[in-house]
């Protein structure tokens, strides 16, 4: 896929548990929280209209955004 300004991009991250316990169950007890950060390490929030963040479970999170020219292909 060619990625360029104006293209919509969706990233997905999923954490798996190998302990035989579901990730949601072990994640809750371990206090695990998945979130997206920008290049400066600042946590992205759903209040930023540029990003659509979805977390359908404790151990999966997706980020959708439309790339802008100022993103310089990052």
Region 50-73: mean pLDDT is: 86
Q: What is the mean pLDDT of the chain?
A: 82
| Residue 37: predicted pLDDT | 92
Higher pLDDT among residues 52 and 26, named by residue = 52
pTM of the complete model: 0.75
| Residue 1: predicted pLDDT | 60
- pLDDT band at residue 53, thresholds of 50, 70 and 90? very high
Cβ–Cβ under 8 Å, residues 13 and 48: no
């Amino acid at each position: 896929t060619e990625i360029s300004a104006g293209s919509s991009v969706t990233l997905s991250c999923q954490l798996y548990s190998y302990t035989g316990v579901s990730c949601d169950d072990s994640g809750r007890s371990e206090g695990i929280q998945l979130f997206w950060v920008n290049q400066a390490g600042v946590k992205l929030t759903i209040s930023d209209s540029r990003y659509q963040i979805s977390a359908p479970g404790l151990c999966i999170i997706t980020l959708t955004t439309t790339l802008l020219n100022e993103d310089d292909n990052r």
